[in-house]
Amino acid sequence: MTVLRLLPVPPLDPPYDDEREQVVTTDGSLALAFSPVTDAVPLRLVPPALPRPKVDDVAPPPAVRDWSARLTQAIVEVFVGVRPAAQLSQFTTLDVLHQLERWTGRFNNRNGLPTRRPKVESVHVCEPRAGIAEVCATVDTGPRRRAFAIRLEARGSRWLCTALELG
């Protein structure tokens, strides 16, 4: 014959924070205790440092028309999604690089696929001052033609894209 016992019902509420046991689990990792940092600075992206050329080593920047045509082709390839925007980081400012990252894949069709590889058709350059170039280019993207406006500034021995507009 079995004897019945009366047992208390366990509490259904979870324990309060001060009632819990402090258990440190190290499931497959090394347990490290870090002291809290009081003067922490939040992380942020920093633009890449441009090397400062010596005055004697400064070469003139390349011909702006040819260089801007190649840069426009690379920018359009970012818009189609066949080139990562990070490849242009040394040729653009940080703001333009963020703009390129946001616009990646913008020229794709509704299925997310590029209609065809775009081609730069014409490039026109205006140099309002020495070291400044304003470029407008037309690009054939397949279903339509697009206009680009690019501002370039000479930095040492190269051109840097400081502004980009898409029409």
**Residue 167 in tokens:** 């029409």
In this prediction, residue 6 carries a pLDDT of 84
Confidence grade of residue 2 (pLDDT, cut at 50, 70, 90): confident
In this prediction, residue 164 carries a pLDDT of 93
In this prediction, residue 61 carries a pLDDT of 67
CATH class as words, domain 60-166: alpha beta
16-72 pLDDT tens trace? 666 666 655 555 555 555 555 555 556 666 666 666 655 555 555 668 888 888 999
What span, in angstroms and rounded, lies between the C-alpha atoms of 6 and 30?
45
Strand order in the sheet with 119-129: 119-129, 132-140, 145-155, 158-166
CB atoms within 10 A of CB 97: 22
**Residue 131 in tokens:** 């070291």
Pairing outcome for strands 119-129 and 145-155: unpaired
Domains in the chain: boundaries: 60-166
What SS3 class is residue 154? strand
Confidence grade of residue 155 (pLDDT, cut at 50, 70, 90): confident
99-142 pLDDT tens trace? 888 887 776 666 656 566 788 899 999 999 988 999 999 988 77
66-99 pLDDT tens trace? 888 899 999 988 888 888 888 898 899 999 999 8
| pLDDT score of 162 more than 90 | yes
In this prediction, residue 147 carries a pLDDT of 92
Stretch 139-162: mean pLDDT, rounded?
A: 87
- Cβ atoms of 126 and 60 within 8 Å: the answer is no
